[in-house]
Chain A
Amino acid sequence: MPDVASLWLLVIGYAALTFVAALAAFQVIALRNDLEGLAWAVGPRHKLPGYIVAGLLMAIAFLGGLLLTLQSGGLPALLSLAALLVGSLLALPVSLCGAALRLWWNRRHRLAIPHRGKLVELGPLGATFYRPVGGDAPCPALCLLPDPTTPDDDLSVLIQALVKEEIAVLAFDWGRLERADRLTLQGLVAVGVSHLERWPEVDAGRVGLIGVGLGGDLALRGAAMDPEVVAVLAIEPVLSAQRPAMGIESLRALSWFEAQRRARTWRYSTLSAELDALAAIPCVAPRSVAVIIGCVGDSSELDNFEILRVAESCSLVPTTHSEAMGRAAAWLKEHLT
């Protein structure tokens, strides 16, 4: 019968091995379900190296377990269970933190897309105007509204997709805005739309709105207030203050910390209730309206507009998802012409 100190050491040893095995399991889970926010070692885009890392860790954990068992004869059942729980529970926060660090690092070192836009001042708001390459004829144009609660979202993939479809884009930058209440935001949207209509290269009869997250709600409300807006597309709008929790799907695009922050902001923001995008939709409905959503949200409430779901999965639609953004751009191209 081992003494208490060696028993403790044994429990710690088994817990450490379980920790390693659980890290490997979380890596496998992230790869199988494309969860960027859980992939602490290798992202889901590099499956083979990810599986190799997980396999190596699993082998280390089980060989270590074999050696420890041979040396000590194993642990009593309850202590084994305790070691298993401690190891697995420790591995979860480590995986989430590791994935958050990996995403942060990737974002920092991502090659910047060449900036071809023109900076525009719209009162207190900064914006960037992107016009399609080539073609002298007036083109359709859009105001792109990021989520006011997360103005640092990377929308470059979406902008590229829109410009590729020969749509001019006026991308708002909420970062400089000191006060983001409903009236200010709606006023700025109206200023943006009228600015686009006066732009010489833009066809004034083909101006639309596109928004992401709460920006989507703002786009829907803005379109309801402004009959000049021809088409509106909301990407993953909040729609309701009673929106269900985002769930694991959000880890496909965000780290756990970002997802938690976003969920909390949406839950406690009064903007979604004030904008009441669901009520705004019927006012826009004679014109073209579409919403890109995942499975969250009560779709039975939604009516009178097109829902573009992202193929094969049911996730919080990331704006870096090139296929989804391509579909969004194609829909806008179709309805702005």
Chain B
Amino acid sequence: MTQVLYYYITLLCSLRQLFQVLPVQVNLVLSFLASGYLVPTGLALATLVYWFEGATATERAAHQRLVLRGLLAALIAWEAAMLAGLAWRRGLNNPEWAQVISELACWQGPPLPSFAAAVGFALGTTLWRRDWRWGLGYCLATGLWAIAQVCYGLCYPADVIVGTVIGAGLAWLLGYADWLDRYLDGVIRFVRGLILA
């Protein structure tokens, strides 16, 4: 377990020190990229645009089903990442670990799978299954966001990897759940009644 924690924490942990010596402007851009504004707002607006896309009602309904599936995957991924983080915290909330942690050079707090990676890759992977261009755009934007968070010292690189696995894996699995379409169509019909789908 100590070894696992050691590798989790120290894997590429010198990145933060590397980026700290860069010019202040680069760090400003990094902080903006890493913040919860630029990329999440961009992704949310792109999702909004995708919701209304489609030359015909059938095509648009397919997009809307995909958006709902992606949002569901993102929500589940968020929960899963949070639960994994809680498990780490509970596991490390022990006096025996205090000694081990004090010896770790790169300690920045307990590990917590990256929410950014989990949510962004869940959405990106869902869209990729139907429209790889949109999926690629989402994945690139999420990747940029997660890398900026690592470089800015907000999370460990392994956090991003675990978040990516959780998000992408869940979305991929959810892609096989065809039975979901029935319920998603119900939501779309409701929103269509509001003349917004």
Contacts and interface: CB of A to CB of B under 8 A. Distances in A.
B23 to A, nearest CB: 15
B52 to A, nearest CB: 5
A91 to B, nearest CB: 9
Contacts of A295: 56-58
B56 A248 contact: no
A245 B32 contact: no
Contacts of B32: 65-66, 69-70
Main secondary structure of the interface of B (DSSP, over half): helix
B121 interface: no
Interface in A208-257: 244-251, 256
Interface stretch (A29-37, A120-128, A152-160, A268-276): A29-37
Contacts of B192: 244-248
Contacts of B189: 244-245
Contact of A28 (B36, B49, B58, B193): B49
Given A295-B56, A295-B58, A248 B195 contact: yes
A56 to B, nearest CB: 15
Contact of A33 (B36, B53, B195, B197): B53
A169 interface: no
A77 B145 CA distance: 13
Interface stretch (A14-22, A39-47, A97-105, A326-334): A14-22
B36 A77 contact: yes
A32 B36 contact: no
A65 B52 contact: no
B37 interface: yes
A257 B31 CA distance: 43
A145 interface: no
A314 B32 CA distance: 42
A112 B137 CA distance: 47
A38 B197 CA distance: 12
Contacts of A324: none
B56 to A, nearest CB: 4
Interface string B33-60: 0011110110011001100111111101
A244 B190 CA distance: 11
A37 B79 CA distance: 37
Report the interface size class on chain B.
20 to 34
Contacts of B115: 77
B15 to A, nearest CB: 20
Interface in B4-52: 28, 31-32, 35-38, 40-41, 44-45, 48-49, 52
B196 interface: yes
Given A70-B32, A296-B57, A312-B55, A250 B41 contact: no
A80 B40 contact: yes
A84 interface: yes
Contacts of A190: none
B195 A246 contact: yes
Contacts of A66: 32, 38
A17 B197 CA distance: 25
Interface in B96-111: none
Contact of B40 (A26, A84, A245, A296): A84
Nearest to A254: B195
21 contacts: A14-B37, A22-B48, A26-B48, A28-B49, A29-B52, A33-B54, A65-B37, A65-B38, A68-B37, A69-B31, A74-B36, A75-B37, A80-B40, A81-B40, A84-B40, A84-B41, A92-B196, A247-B192, A247-B195, A295-B56, A314-B55
Shortest beta-carbon contacts, A-B, top 5: A80-B36, A74-B35, A295-B57, A314-B56, A25-B45
